[in-house]
């Protein structure tokens, strides 16, 4: 990424700190099969959970909870819930896609030393919340911000994280004793890993390609593209640099 020091505001981080942040973002991966049987120290877990707790939230309602799973027995129950949904999901694809899906490793529930379920309590701040008065889903998105904070902090700590989403929600809630009024947002597998893949596994497997960024940016109105915009040129240049690194 091109970072011209002359263009930086006084509030910008140092060049080294900025580079570390971008490195964390671009090297983050959804980890499924590389977990090591190495315990995650409480001081490291504390740092990444604290980072998640400092995520932005609508109306400062902080709707999240962090359910830490270390019990092998509980992991097996969660894995059973995944297995049922995973088998059902395979039947939703056809032909080559179904065959490819069945070869994918989509979770590390049992292998990872720690599971963390991040939830959303939609009633935490009462019925009227600043910023949620018209877009009622903003509290859910707030908990997703907590997921992202944790994920990036974990990557900076050398931890892998895998987000498992193939569950029937009631089954996951029952597995973890989550009340009906609490929404599970993410079940995360967390732990040290043997390696991080250079590219997302689904991209490498040919499931879907990374979309060209220039096709995703509009100007002023939905669908309005302008390939002559200097921003588009810069986006394409930065994308090419990233692809060359990988």
Q: How many degrees, rounded to 5, is the angle at CA 147 between CA 142 and CA 150?
A: 125
C-alpha to C-alpha distance for 49 and 65, rounded to whole angstroms: 10
Within 10 Å of residue 52's Cβ, how many Cβ atoms?
Answer: 24
Q: Residues 193, 223: one domain?
A: no
Residue keyed to tokens 């973002």: 25
Range of the domain at 227: 211-246
Query: Which pLDDT does position 243 carry in this prediction?
Result: 87
Q: Residues 75, 100: one domain?
A: yes
Query: Which pLDDT does position 244 carry in this prediction?
Result: 87
pTM: 0.93
Determine the length of the chain.
246
For the chain (length 246 residues), average pLDDT per consecutive 10? 64 96 97 96 98 98 98 98 98 95 96 98 96 97 98 98 98 98 98 96 93 96 96 96 85
C-alpha to C-alpha distance for 91 and 150, rounded to whole angstroms: 33
Query: Which pLDDT does position 6 carry in this prediction?
Result: 47
Q: Residues 151, 239: one domain?
A: no
Pick from 116, 202, 205, 199: which is nearest to 161 by CA? 116
Query: What is the total count of domains within the chain?
Result: 2
Q: Residues 239, 158: one domain?
A: no
Q: Residues 93, 160: one domain?
A: yes
Query: Which pLDDT does position 55 carry in this prediction?
Result: 98
C-alpha to C-alpha distance for 182 and 149, rounded to whole angstroms: 21
């Amino acid at each position: 990424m091109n970072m011209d020091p002359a263009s930086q505001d006084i509030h910008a981080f140092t060049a080294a700190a900025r580079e570390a942040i971008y490195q964390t973002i671009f090297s983050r991966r959804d980890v499924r099969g590389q977990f090591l049987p190495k315990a995650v120290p409480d001081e490291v877990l504390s740092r990444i959970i604290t980072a998640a707790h400092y995520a932005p939230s609508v109306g400062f309602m902080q709707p999240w909870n962090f359910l830490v799973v270390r019990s092998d027995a509980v992991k097996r129950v969660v894995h059973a819930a995944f297995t049922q949904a995973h088998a059902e999901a395979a039947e939703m694809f056809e032909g080559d896609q179904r065959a490819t899906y069945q070869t994918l490793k989509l979770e590390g529930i049992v292998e990872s030393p720690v599971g963390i379920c991040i939830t959303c309590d939609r009633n935490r701040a009462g019925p009227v919340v600043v910023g949620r008065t018209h877009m009622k889903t903003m509290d859910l998105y707030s908990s997703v911000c907590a997921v992202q904070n944790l994920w990036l902090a974990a990557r900076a700590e050398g931890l892998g994280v895998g987000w498992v989403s193939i569950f029937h929600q009631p089954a996951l809630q029952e597995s973890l004793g989550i009340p009906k009024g609490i929404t599970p947002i993410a079940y995360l597998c967390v732990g040290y890993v043997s390696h991080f893949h250079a590219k997302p596994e689904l991209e490498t497997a040919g499931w879907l390609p990374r979309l060209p960024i220039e096709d995703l940016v509009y100007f002023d109105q939905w669908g309005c593209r302008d390939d002559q915009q200097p921003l588009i040129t810069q986006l394409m240049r930065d994308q090419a640099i990233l692809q060359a690194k990988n």
